[in-house]
Structure 1
Amino acid sequence: MILTRRTLSLTATAAFLGLAAPPAIATEPEKAELVTLINAFEVPADQVEETILFWEKARDFLQTQPGYISTRLHQSLSPDAKFQLVNIALWKSPEAFQSAIRKMHESGLGASERKTVFHAALYKVVRTDKGD
């Protein structure tokens, strides 16, 4: 896959929405592994509830998309934490995630401005507590 203006635009939109479109990745469908989205949110204290409501709308849309597995939103117990919210989601592949983000972008979900800063990326598991 080649990065195009459309791909870069989707990446920027996804980051605004609290999700990260994956970089261009060459994978063979039969060898694709699950990917984990980890997205830490810097949220002003007065916008935490608004951000949670937005996250719920995004979750409701994304869970209908092919390749979606699950998501969980975590809130810091410390009011002084840099990242008040952290989203962790599982997808069947980077391509499934990117397709879902593209569809969400096309739906217009999340068009409003917010002061939340998102730090999102896709990850693969390299070690577990089982020693692998």
Structure 2
Amino acid sequence: MNQLILIDQFVVPSQSRKQFIERMQINRSFIKTQPGFINDMAYEQTTENGEYKFIALAIWENEESFMQAKKAVAALYQQQGFNLPEMLNTLQIRMDRGVYSPLSN
């Protein structure tokens, strides 16, 4: 089976940066405990207009482990009363999400 890589890109207004990073750290800590998790990375860039761009990658052993982790994250959000779309809207954060597979040689 092929690994899957979840790549999230966020554009975050400067006033929302602190709150966004706190939430990202909660999520990153949680996914690291999930079966099939391999690695994650996060990057930050300051834009010309003072916003921040973040790229977060999470690498999973296969599609099954990725799908199980998605379910676990959804359960965590429900337990915490956390609503991702609401947070993005309130903090005026734009998100682009994609799931990728490595290219074969």
TM-score bucket of the superposed structures, by smaller chain: 0.7 to 0.9
Task: Please identify, of 82-91 and 38-47, the stretch whose mean Cα deviation from structure 2 is larger.
Answer: 82-91
Aligned residues: 97
Give the structure 1 partner of residue 71 of structure 2: 102
- TM-score between the two structures when normalised by the length of structure 1: 0.64
Shift of 1:61: 0.8
Q: Please list the CA deviations of residues 58-90 of structure 1 after superposition, one character each: whole Å capped at 9, or x if unmatched.
A: 011111001111111100143448761110121
> After TM superposition, where is structure 1 displaced by more than 6 Å over at least 4 residues in a row?
none
Q: Runs of 5+ in structure 2 lacking a partner?
A: none
Cα distance change on mapping 1:65 and 1:57 into 2, 3 Å = same
Give the structure 1 partner of residue 100 of structure 2: 123
How many angstroms apart in 2 are the aligned matches of 1:81 and 1:87?
A: 20
One-letter amino acid of the structure 1 residue matched with residue 82 of structure 2: A
- TM-score between the two structures when normalised by the length of structure 2: 0.78
Aligned residues of 1:66 and 1:96 also touching (Cα < 8 A): yes
1:111 aligned onto 2:88: no
Higher RCO (CA 8 Å, separation ≥ 6 residues): 2
Give the structure 1 partner of residue 7 of structure 2: 38
The share of aligned pairs that are identical, in percent, is 22
Give the structure 2 partner of residue 47 of structure 1: 16
How many angstroms apart in 2 are the aligned matches of 1:35 and 1:104?
A: 16
Greater strand share, structure number: 2
Q: Runs of 5+ in structure 1 lacking a partner?
A: 1-31
One-letter amino acid of the structure 1 residue matched with residue 67 of structure 2: Q
1:58 aligned onto 2:27: yes
1:93 aligned onto 2:58: no
